[in-house]
Amino acid sequence: MPGMSEASEIVRALATAGYRLTSPRRAVAELIAEQDGHFTAAELQHVARDQEMGVSRATLFRALDLLVELGELERIGLPRGEHAYGPGARSHH
């Protein structure tokens, strides 16, 4: 299944850093792994809502911030004030 190894890497990074592997965090890892290239939080939120994953907006943003902090994602400022995310320096994508 495409993206599963990327999701596993994100989950492993969270576990290694000592974070709980909650269902919402696993869901966010799966969402990120399904993305091809850069993405925005709004795009992830839309997919999560369509797939009825039960991931709140706040949980999504906290997970993205945490993954940026861990180096798994890179945050890129966009001209209209929004952010895009992509593989970070420590990511194996």
pLDDT in tens, 42-76: 999 999 999 999 899 999 999 999 999 999 999 99
End-to-end CA distance of the chain: 15
Torsional sign, CA 19, 21, 22, 28: positive
Q: Indicate the pairing of strand 73-77 with strand 83-87.
A: antiparallel
Place of tokens 């596993």: 8
Give the chain's mean pLDDT. 89
